[in-house]
Chains A and B, each alone.
Chain A
Amino acid sequence: MRIKVIGLGSPHGDDAVGLEVARQLSRETLPGGAAAVACDRPGVDLLDELEGIDAAVLVDALRSGASPGSVRVLSPAQLARGHALSSHALGVADALALAEALGRRRPELRIVAVELEAERREGVSAAGRAAVPEACRRVRMLLAELTRQAHFETD
């Protein structure tokens, strides 16, 4: 079972939360021997990150109107395709749709989403920082669950 944590985002404000979670987790031994990588706006390169693995937990910032800093687990089906497919800001859902259009095998995916503070600012907000430990906890749980599931399926 090859499993990975991919933190997504950019260095701008709360959008950096996914990157921060990946950085923290990369210093730990994770369930299933997962590696954690931080990807600054990977765009189409997200496809390469998803190659050769069985499962991944993506961590990203989200704006949905919930209270800033709240952490949720989503399935890929819950992501909305962006209106604009931009060449250097291809969103997660767009990248997954591209992988599917290309007929690539998609690994089992879970998404940990941290609600952004609406206002754009320098650095991660207090709510965003406070959400990092909870996001890390959810990622560890999902990794354990995905690893167990894989064992069960191979038994």
Chain B
Amino acid sequence: MEGEGALHLTVEGDRVIDLRLEIYEPPRFFEAFLRGRAASELADLVARICGICPVAYQMSTLHAVESIFQVRLHPSVRALRRLYYCGEWIESHLLHMYFLAAPDYLGVDDGIAVARFHPGEVERGLRLRKLGNRILSLLGGRPVNPVGACIGGFSRTPTRVELEELAEEIVRARGETEAALRFFASLPVPSRPQAIELVSLRHPLEYPMNEGRIVSSTGLDIEAAEFATAFSEHQVPHSTALHCRRIGGGRYLVGPLARLLQNSDRLSPSALAARESVAARLSSTDPYASVFARAIEVIYAFDEALRVIREFEPPPRPAAEFAPRAGVGHGATEAPRGLLYVRVETDDRGYVSAIRIVPPTAQNQACIEADLRELAPGVLALPHEQARRACEMAIRNYDPCISCSTHFLTLEIERRSPA
């Protein structure tokens, strides 16, 4: 998922006649080489797809496999998986907010320049983010390419002392999450509401992470297993990334903004209060408001992590036992960047015969292109460098994996004289 992007614009006079966002995105190879591996190896292997959101790949894949093997998770294990996901949201969202979004809104080149002007804010972001890494290390063994998650649970249950130490650190840092939102709310974040269908999970009780039905703002409401009835992936010649479309629908958005707008009633009280403080920015579907959604989800993730730890009762064993069997399973969970769907097919020895991975970036790509098509006419008159920045900024709202580098975009404008 890491890589480079290029945006090709063909304009005639002041009219955009063609727009192509090219992304080099390699996870399709994963689907090929995972075939023939034991399902029990998948969690460690898919964690390698992305350096920023390994938990999401692990969780969607494990849930798909567990549904085939009919594994019942112990409630405490289920709670630990929520804690694990909190760690990833914290780590990923804060990195995006301080090192990718903040430079855009402050009009500077990178996070280092932000640190020069606002050292206290960046220190705060780093301090908070470290707690996300702490959670990942505790449950995954290490913050990068974690390995602790397995079929039925985790390879080890954290001790009560470890969890209590973590809780103390979370309590100390928690108030700072609101200050982070205030900082971003004080920046000149642009606004450009668009008509987009929002897609996310929805759970009867919880803010969605690992479980729930796939719902949309236009009334879609399906099980993960029905994903293929509502969404189709197809190849476009200009990009190695598959585009995912709503069957019979237009562009749709997954990610923190879609999640938040569809699940505000599932937030913790302090996250809900935080949402109220920026309510005006969240009254329409404006991709630029994604940064606020991320900040609110960080507040929620701290609250939720603390709740899980306080209510934690150790499970009888770290992972439930399982017996391999043949079948088809589906998993849909909420990666930091949005809905991540996985379909796994196993043979009777529990080996993978087919796997399909639909990451959030593939789903948002059509949405990004449509967004740029609307933006483009307004930036054509700008100097090239400014036009590139404006396009990058619009793309970064979606936090696609390509946005991991600040200057990732090559902008090519082909100007044709009107016929």
Smallest CB-CB separation from B96: which chain A residue? A87
User: Does chain A have a CB within 8 A of B255?
Assistant: no
Stretch at the interface among A28-36, A95-103, A142-150: A95-103
CB neighbours (8 Å) of B133 from chain A are 45
Known: A88-B404, A89-B404, A102-B115. A44 touches B145 (CB 8 A): no
Task: A111 to B262: give the CA distance in the assembly, Å.
Answer: 50
Count of interface residues, chain A, beta-carbon cutoff 8 Å: 20
Partner of A85 from B52, B144, B405 at Cβ < 8 Å: B405
> A86 at interface (Cβ–Cβ under 8 A)?
yes
* Separation of A83 and B410 alpha carbons in the complex (Å): 14
- Tell me the A88-114 residues at the B interface (CB within 8 Å): 88-90, 94, 97-98, 101-103
Which residues from 393 to 418 on chain B have a C-beta closer than 8 Å to any C-beta of chain A?
Answer: 404-408
> How many chain B residues touch A (Cβ–Cβ < 8 Å)?
29
Q: Please state if A97 and B51 are interface contacts (CB–CB under 8 Å).
A: no
A100 to chain B, nearest CB (A): 8
Q: Is B380 an interface residue (CB 8 A)?
A: no
Q: Are A102 and B119 touching (Cβ within 8 A)? A: yes
B122 and chain A: residue at smallest CB distance? A102
B292, CB-defined interface residue at 8 Å? no
Which residues B32-65 have CB closer than 8 A to chain A?
51-52
- Bound complex: CA A47 to CA B98 (Å): 15
When distances are taken between beta carbons in the complex, the residues of chain B under 8 Å from A45 are 130, 133, 143
Interface residue A80 (Cβ < 8 Å from any Cβ of B): no
For residue A48, CB closer than 8 A to chain B, the reply is: yes
For residue A138, CB closer than 8 A to chain B, the reply is no
A84 located at the interface, meaning its Cβ lies under 8 Å from any Cβ of chain B in the complex: yes
- Cα A85 to Cα B110 with chains together (Å): 7
Judge whether B99 is part of the interface by a CB distance below 8 angstroms: yes
A44 contacts B144, C-beta separation under 8 Å: no
Q: Which residues of A contact B (CB under 8 A)?
A: 40-41, 44-45, 47-48, 83-90, 94, 97-98, 101-103
Q: Could you list some 12 contacts between A and B, CB below 8 A?
A: A40-B145, A41-B144, A48-B130, A85-B406, A86-B404, A87-B405, A88-B2, A88-B52, A89-B404, A89-B405, A102-B122, A102-B123
Apart from A88-B51, A98-B111, what 20 extra A-B contacts exist at CB < 8 Å? A40-B144, A44-B95, A44-B129, A45-B130, A45-B133, A84-B405, A84-B407, A84-B408, A85-B109, A85-B110, A85-B406, A86-B406, A87-B52, A87-B95, A89-B2, A94-B112, A98-B112, A98-B122, A101-B116, A102-B122
